[in-house]
Structures are given as structure tokens and as C-alpha cells.
Amino acid sequence: MKHQLKEYFYFSRFERTGIIGLVILIVLLIFGRTLFFEYYPEVDENQKVISNIEARIHSLKQEQRKRESQKELDDIDLANFKNLEDFNPNNLEEEGW
């Protein structure tokens, strides 16, 4: 029985070196991942999306305020002018000259 188990767990020097190298590589990858995320914390993708939406909402509100103020100015300008549709220079009397 010992002899049968020894066949499965006996490795040549080259195979042992490869196994040790793979184990070291796996351990480094596990610890490297934890160290990487410790120094460079993962940014929540939802937070990026939310901040982009908030920025877009803010810019849309500014555009709306700008349009409303422009509309008020347009209304004021039109109220100050006389109605030019009634004016026809061909029908102007001599007194108007």
C-alpha cells in the first residue's frame, strides 16, 4: 500500500521545482490582489453614473434658467416697440415726413 501511494506523490526534481514555483505564483497573486485593492480602492460604478447624472441635471437647470431669462428679455423688448405691422411708408402723409 505504501508503495502505491509513493508512486503518486513522488516527483522528480524538475517537477518539484515547477510545483513550488506555481504555489509561490498563486500566493503572490492572492496577496497582490489584496494589496492592490488596499492602495487603489475600487470606485463604485454606480457612483460614477450618479455623479454624471447629477452634473447633467445641473447643466440642464442652468440652460433652463438661461432660456427663461432670455424669454423675459424678449418679452420686455417686444413690449417697448410699437407695432410695426401697421406702418406702411407708401401711405405716409406729408405731415409724417
Asked if the structure places residue 86 within a domain, the reply is: no
Residue 16 covered by a domain: yes
For residue 76, what pLDDT is reported?
64
State the total domains in the chain: 2
Residue 65 scores a pLDDT above 70:
yes
d(Cα 97, Cα 92) in Å, to the nearest integer?
8
Cell of 46: 454606480
26 plus 36 within the same structural domain: yes
Domain range for 74 is 44-80
pLDDT-based confidence at 50, cuts 50/70/90? confident
- Average pLDDT of span 49-72: 88
**Gap between the Cα atoms of 90 and 92, Å rounded:** 6
